[in-house]
Structure 1
Amino acid sequence: MAPPTTPRLKTPSDLGDNARKDISGAINAILADSFALYVKTKNFHWHISGPHFRDYHLLLDEQAAEIFATTDELAERVRKIGGNTLRSIGDIAKKTRIADNDAPYVSPEDMLAELREDNQAVVKAMREAHGLCDEHEDVATASLLENYIDAAEKRVWFLYEIGRRGSPDGH
């Protein structure tokens, strides 16, 4: 649960208190997931190895930059509707649903699969947050999420396609 907003930080909004609380909570969780996914994507970018090193290294760097680019807009959206947003790494750690991977070695195939699953989880969380926005008639946050859902689905698609092996159905 988000701490109460101090009067100095309570941005005026026509959204009700419940809407601000619900939407801020959902967006802050997505924001925490985005930071965690950014760090994991950079971790794999730095530690990828093998015959496809250059292609995977560049792809993961592009995806990390795309993920990081969402963080400021998400945090500012929370503030625009009168909520508080993340303040620290500890705050991110408490709110994220993306698991760390501190293994000394992860195969490129496992990296791609893990990132695909994590990006898919972020898509799911964004869809759920979009539903909250619809309930509370917050079209601006919903619109922002629509663009981020599309971008995350593209990341899932790319990670799926480069991770496929064997038959055309992915097996």
Structure 2
Amino acid sequence: MKDLKSAKESRKADLRTPSALSEEACINIAAEVNALLADTFAIYMKTKNFHWHMSGPHFRDFHLLLDEQSDQIFATTDAIAERVRKLGRTTIRSVGHIKKLQRLLDNDADFVTPSDMLAELREDNIQLAAYMRETHDMCSELGDVATTSLLENWIDEAERRVWFLFESSRTK
């Protein structure tokens, strides 16, 4: 009985990291950054899905492009989650939690043409960058220089992915 009680108490441990930002700012920023994290996992999974299911005459080039992009996207997830923790908040805990927070749509189709894959990922990366800009604006208003700085790099990475997806899908 004593071990069960101490386990319950340890689950209630205060995980709030001290911050110079206000409690309200930390709560609001963490909520927005957690939504970005969910979207990042969603676009990662879609990019891997399309990578695994690529076909056609440009298979190798597109397969490698999407593998590179998915690696880059996945690499940001830890930094995004750790930013939430640095704000003294908790972050995503499960696939179900991701599904609740994500705004980008999944694609569960049995077959998607290569050109539609690239177009959909291009649009998703454009939308992800837009969400990041909105979060950047909020963080800037609240004086969170660290999160705004990280977002600037992630926006640049998303725009680079858009550029590559756009150029790879051009016919002329």
TM-score, normalised to structure 2, is 0.91
Matches of residues 129-144 of structure 1 in structure 2 within 5 Å? 129-144=135-150
Q: Displaced runs of 4+ in structure 1, greater than 3 A?
A: none
Counterparts of 1:1-171 in structure 2, within 5 Å, are 8-166=14-172
Please report how far the alpha carbon of residue 11 of structure 1 lies from its aligned counterpart in structure 2 after TM superposition: 0.8
Which segment is superposed worse, 119-128 or 17-26? 17-26
Q: Cα offset for 1:38?
A: 0.5
What residue in structure 1 maps to residue 6 of structure 2? none
State the AA in 1 paired with 2:137.
G
What secondary structure does 1:61 align onto?
helix
CA RMSD in angstroms comes to: 0.9
Letter in 2 for 1:64: S
Instruction: Name the CA distance, whole Å, in 2 between partners of 1:130 and 1:83.
Output: 18
Q: Residues of 2 paired with 1:29 and 1:44: CA distance?
A: 23
Aligned length: 161
Give the whole-Å Cα distance in 2 for the aligned partners of 1:51 and 1:77: 41
Bigger radius of gyration: 2
What does the per-residue CA deviation read over 1:125-165, in whole Å, with 9 as the maximum and x for residues that have no partner? 00000001101110001000100000000000010111122
Structure 2 partner of 1:169: none
1:110-136 Cα deviation digits (max 9, x unpaired): 000000000111000000000011011
Q: Structure 2, unaligned stretches of length 5 or more?
A: 1-11
| Secondary structure, counterpart of 1:13 in structure 2 | coil
Partner secondary structure for residue 51 of structure 1: coil
Q: Distance in 2 between matches of 1:120 and 1:22?
A: 23
After TM superposition, give the deviation of residue 84 of structure 1 in Å: 1.3
Deviation at 1:18, TM superposition (A): 1.6
The code of the aligned residue for 2:126 comes to: Q
Deviations 1:17-47 (A, max 9, x none): 2211111011001100000100100000000
Q: Deviations over 1:66-86 (max 9, x none)?
A: 000000000000010111110
* CA deviation after TM superposition for structure 1 residue 7, in Å: 5.2
